[in-house]
Each structure stands twice: as structure tokens, then as C-alpha cells.
Amino acid sequence: MSKAEKLQENLLKTAEPVNEFIHQILQDRTPSQLYEASRHLIDAGGKRLRPFLAIKSCEAAGGKKKDAIPFAAALEILHNFTLVHDDLMDHDELRRGKPTVHSRFGEPLAILAGDLLFAKVYQSVLDYAPAKMSADDVVNTLQKMTDAIIVLCEGQALDISFPKATDVTEKDYIFMIGAKTSALFKACAEVGAIAAGASSDTIDSLGRFAWDAGLTFQIYDDVLGITADETKLGKPVGSDIREGKKTIIMIHALKHADDKQRETLLAAMKGEEATQEAIDAAVKVLNDIGSIDYARGEANKYLESSLKNIKGLRDSSAKNQLIDVINYFVQREY
Amino acid sequence: MSKAEKLQENLLKTAEPVNEFIHQILQDRTPSQLYEASRHLIDAGGKRLRPFLAIKSCEAAGGKKKDAIPFAAALEILHNFTLVHDDLMDHDELRRGKPTVHSRFGEPLAILAGDLLFAKVYQSVLDYAPAKMSADDVVNTLQKMTDAIIVLCEGQALDISFPKATDVTEKDYIFMIGAKTSALFKACAEVGAIAAGASSDTIDSLGRFAWDAGLTFQIYDDVLGITADETKLGKPVGSDIREGKKTIIMIHALKHADDKQRETLLAAMKGEEATQEAIDAAVKVLNDIGSIDYARGEANKYLESSLKNIKGLRDSSAKNQLIDVINYFVQREY
């Protein structure tokens, strides 16, 4: 078993009690179809990165895994709520290699399933936070999560507006992925640390660690969107290009392209109209300009910056696992 | 000024500090269009019934109005979040006589604006609950609100499934409107009472009062959907019939119709296909069978049952205003 495979196994194993919790809190009520729709994406798979971040941050801050479970579950539910609504907004048909919630259950039920998941985020914490935890700490975790959701909405609104915008800079992109990915990563680490009863310094360090880890993850996600094996990716390779997404790769390439290269890139960003040949030609241009390598370099830069933030934490197995998983972000195949 | 007009003025005046709070918490951040979309429906008007219920329940339980403001705002935001998503699911173009959020800003932004409002419900309480309130009480109010949202989602999922269903009974209908309307009314009254530091008996009494008040309100809403003045209603009269909604009126009529009457009713429930003549003929049948009067009678039945629950509360101006507003439910013109 490769190191990456062992790590993936560790992520899934760590999340087992989280999955159990989620199944309890999403068990059928009337109407059962709503609950089926709300479980659909969670059951379809996923890496369970966010519960891992929450649980290992809790342990790295001196807490017990079981105290982090309701929060880890809340954060995974939160992530899935945003995916259900994002897929609908983006009209994506596939996620994790399976039909998205709206393609399987229709748009109205996808909206509602997302809303139900949203409410279940709060129910997980309000009804199941460890009894020994103070109500003040419960309120604190909910504030972190609520702030993250607000920023996530802002990030998604920006992301939607980007394909139409012609003047998106790398700075705009970093701001957007910070909102769409890092805000929730940060909440995972902070909430895990709060569940451990950590000091505000430790909570902040883990939060900063997770923020840069989120940037690393998302930048590398954009790399994989072009370089990955399609069967592993669970969606068509190059669909980011087709949809006109302003990824760090595309922003870099458009900035450095000559006229002919620019033409090739723009020809591929035409949605349904773009042929597979146009996509392939654009990928070649991205390679020629060095934009994919540039993105890999930036991902590694944020990776280093991320790890600096937890250097001061007491050594522990959990801390090592956090370091392993962040390193894995730039080594994974999907 | 008629009694009804005075009451409406009282509702709007009571909500003034609530509107101010809502404008503060929904003020522009990046991207501003998202915030514009999230304010759109709230600014379009509305009766502000839910803040009134929360504030007057707080006062009737011995509390101060100002302590209820963040909760009243949270509950009005919650109501508007459900309307934004409901309008999208129902493809309704008008609400409060103005374009709905998705017709004005497009579907993706309507989904996101709803999600943002959802998060703002929690932020209102988490960040702005009165400092003197215990964290346990804050958690308690959030539990009431979260439970209401879950039941609201279930009610909306049922409502969506009703037009296709052929066997909807009056019992199903009461269950559905309990979920769609009463659950939130109940949360308003309970949260208001908690903000007042009331005993659990008082919290429960006000909750039961508001539950039956919600049924009264919704049944009478269905009456108005057929009998109201279109300019006051803000949407086409008879659209419930056209959309095949299983209102208490329609359920009663279909149960008691002879074959010819049933044919007339079904001919009007065909969406875009149904002519205005078909709608008019169906309204005549509803009158002939006595279904509209039946609904009025049921609304009054729940009204009486509602008021019984607060008989035991100490007399106060707030209590009288609650009684007035519930009586107004069956006297209003829209």
C-alpha cells in the first residue's frame, strides 16, 4: 500500500464514528424522500478531510477524539450542504462519480435537502455537544461555523461572477478560494481546538495552519482538474477550462500568453461549444507557458507557510498526521 | 382609520427597530450584489407578524422589548430565507407585489441569498443576544429555531409533493401547514418568552398559543387566495387552484363534489392550460359546496383554541395586542 493510500485509509477510518453520527442525525422522518436526498451526496463518498482536520486538531490540542465527533459531523454536513447547492448553481451533473442531488431528485428537493443539511449542522452541535462543555464554548464554536458559512456564500457568489469577468487577478482568485475553501478548513481546526478546551493562542495557530492548508488544497485541486485521471477525478478533465473558470492556472496563462496562445485558450472556454480538440490544445498551451508548474509551485509555497503555524505545538501523533495530510494535498492523484 | 389599519400600523411600528437591526446585519460586504439580493425581499414589505409575535410574547411574559430585538430580527430573516427558496421552488414571479429574488437576480444568486439569510439568522442571535442572557438560554433559543427550520423544510417538501398526490386528506393538510407555518410561529413565541426569562410553563403556553394561531393564519390565507382583492394580495387570485394546491378548501370541495362539480374543479387545476373561465367556474363550485365557509369556520375554531392557551397569562397591554392580532388574522383583507 502506498503512503497516499495509507493516508486515505486513515482519513476514512478516522471518519467512521462521524459517518455513524451523521446517519443517526439524518435518519428518516416524514417525508422520507427529503432525508434520502439529504444523505445522497454524503453516502456517495468524499475524502472526509474536514472531519479529519477537526478531530486531529482537537487531539493535537490535547483533546479526546470523542469530544470532537459532533463538531466533525457538523462540519462535514456543512461541507456537503454547500456542495449540494453549488452543484445546482453550476448545473453539474456528476460529483464523486455519481449523479448530483438535483440530477437525481430534482431542483426543488435539492434546494430543500441543502437547507435541511444546513439546519442539521446546528442541530449536531446544539443537541450533541459534550455535556461537560460550557454553553459559552458551544456558542463560540457556532460563531466560528456561522462566520465560515457567511464567507463561503460570499466566495461562491464571487466564483459565479468570475466566468463573466474579464479582469480577474491572481489576488482576486486567492481571495475567492480563501472564502470558498480556507474559511471552512479554518473553522474545522478552530472548532476542533475549542472542543479540546485549548488556549486562544492554540486555537489561532491551528486556524492559520488550516487557512493556508486550504489554499494549498484548492490550488492543487485546480491542477488536478487538468492533469488527473478522469476516472479518479469523478468529473470530465478540462471541465474547468470549458466552463471558463478563472483558476490560478488560467489567470497565469492569460497573463503570459502571446496572441495565438490567448486565442487557443479563449476558444476552449466556450462551454458546450468547445470541442475536445480545443480543450486539448488549451491544455498544451497551459503546459507550454508553464502555468501548471507555476500553480504547483504556489501550492507548495502555501504548504510551507501552513506548516510553520503548528511548529510550536507539542509533538504528538495527531500533529504528525496533520502534517502528513497537508503534504498529501500536493501528492494526491484526485 | 379602521381597527385593521390601526393593527397593521402597530405591527409595522413594533418592527421598526427590527428593520434597523436587519439592515445593520445585512449591510454590504463583497460581493455587494449578494447582499442586495438578500435584502430584496425584506425591503419589499411584509406584515412583520413574526417579529411582532416574538416581541409581544417577550413583553407578555414580563420581558423588555429591547431584549427581544435580535431574536425578532433573526426570526424575520428566517421567514424571508424560506420565502426566497420557496419562491424559487414554486417558480413564483411575484411576492409582496414585487419581483421575487430569483426573477430579479437569477436562480444562483437566489439560492445563495437564501443561504446567506439562513446564516444571518444564527449570527443575529450568536453575536447580538443581550449580554445579560446566559449562554444556556442562547443555546435554548437556537434549539427552538433550529427545530422549527427542520420542520419547515419537511413541510415544504410535503407541500411540493401535494399537487401530484391524489389522496391528500384534511389531516395531511393540517400536518403540512403546522410544519410550514405553525412551527415558526411557535418558535417566535417561545424565543420571545425565553428572552424574557420566563418559566417553562409560560414558554410552553405561548408556544401552544402560537401554534394554533399559525393554523388559523394559514387556513385564512387559503381563503384569501380565492376571495381577496388581487391588488392587495400581491399575486393572482385563484393561482392556488391553478397550481393544484391541496388547500383545506379544495380538499373539502373534492370530498363533497358531485361528478360534474369535480370535473369543473379538476379542469381549473391544470396550470398554464387552465383558462380564466375555468378558474371562475371552479370558484363558483367552491362557493356552492360551501367549502370557503367551511374553511372560515375551521380558522375560527383554531382561533378559539389558540386564545385559550394564554388565558392564564397576567393581563398586560402586550397580551391584549397578541389577542387583537390573532383576531385580525380572520378579519384581514390580504
| Residue A83 reports pLDDT greater than 70 | yes
Q: How confident is the model at residue B162 (pLDDT cuts 50, 70, 90)?
A: confident
**How many Å lie between the alpha carbon of A280 and the closest alpha carbon of chain B?**
30
Interface of B with A in 219-248 (CB under 8 A): none
pLDDT mean over B262-280: 93
Predicted pLDDT at A271: 87
* Closest residue in B to A179 (Cα–Cα): B30
Between B273 and A149, whose confidence is greater?
A: A149
Q: Which of A112, A122, A158 sits opposite B122 (nearest CB)?
A: A122
**How many Å lie between the alpha carbon of B9 and the closest alpha carbon of chain A?**
33
* Closest residue in B to A33 (Cα–Cα): B157
Model confidence pLDDT, tens digit, residues B69-80:
999 999 999 999
Q: Smallest Cα–Cα separation from A147: which of A188, A199, A200?
A: A188
Q: Does B150 touch chain A (CB under 8 A)?
A: yes
CA distance linking residue A109 with residue A119, whole number of Å:
15
- Residue B80, classified by CB atoms within 10 Å of its CB into exposed (0-12), middle (13-18) or buried (19+), is buried
Beta pairing partners, A94: A99
Asked if B109 and A142 come within 8 Å (Cβ–Cβ), the reply is: no
C-alpha to C-alpha distances, A150 to A5, A183, B38, B65, nearest whole angstrom: 34, 9, 12, 28
| Residue A284 reports pLDDT greater than 80 | yes
Residue whose cell numbers read 385564512: B220
Asked which of A158-167, B242-251, B280-289 is least confident by mean pLDDT, the reply is A158-167
Contacts of B134 in chain A (CB under 8 A): 135
ipTM: 0.94
pLDDT mean over B245-269: 95
Give the global pTM: 0.94
pLDDT mean over A274-302: 96
What is the grid cell recorded at B127? Answer: 453575536
Contacts of B138 in chain A (CB under 8 A): 135, 139
**How many Å lie between the alpha carbon of A158 and the closest alpha carbon of chain B?**
6
Q: How many CB atoms lie within 10 A of CB B171?
A: 9
Model confidence pLDDT, tens digit, residues A107-138:
999 999 999 999 999 999 999 999 999 999 99
| Residue B233 reports pLDDT greater than 70 | no
Q: Does A109 touch chain B (CB under 8 A)?
A: yes
Q: Does B120 touch chain A (CB under 8 A)?
A: yes
Interface of A with B in 265-324 (CB under 8 A): none
Q: Does B65 touch chain A (CB under 8 A)?
A: no
Asked if A139 and B138 come within 8 Å (Cβ–Cβ), the reply is: yes
pLDDT mean over B129-142: 97
Q: Smallest Cα–Cα separation from A75: which of A223, A177, A193, A171?
A: A193
CA distance linking residue B316 with residue B306, whole number of Å:
17
CA distance linking residue B184 with residue B214, whole number of Å:
8
Contacts of B88 in chain A (CB under 8 A): 111
Between A334 and B89, whose confidence is greater?
A: B89
| Residue B163 reports pLDDT greater than 80 | no
Q: Does A108 touch chain B (CB under 8 A)?
A: yes
Tell me the backbone φ, ψ of residue B94, rounded to 5 degrees.
Answer: -125, 145
Q: How confident is the model at residue B2 (pLDDT cuts 50, 70, 90)?
A: confident
Contact B285, B264 (CB under 8 A): yes
Model confidence pLDDT, tens digit, residues B88-124:
998 989 888 899 999 999 999 999 999 999 999 999 9
Contacts of B158 in chain A (CB under 8 A): 30-31
Q: Does A158 touch chain B (CB under 8 A)?
A: yes
CA distance linking residue A132 with residue A126, whole number of Å:
13
Q: How confident is the model at residue A297 (pLDDT cuts 50, 70, 90)?
A: very high
**How many Å lie between the alpha carbon of B182 and the closest alpha carbon of chain A?**
17
Q: Does B151 touch chain A (CB under 8 A)?
A: no
Contact B328, B52 (CB under 8 A): no
Asked if B115 and A149 come within 8 Å (Cβ–Cβ), the reply is: yes
Asked if A88 and B109 come within 8 Å (Cβ–Cβ), the reply is: no
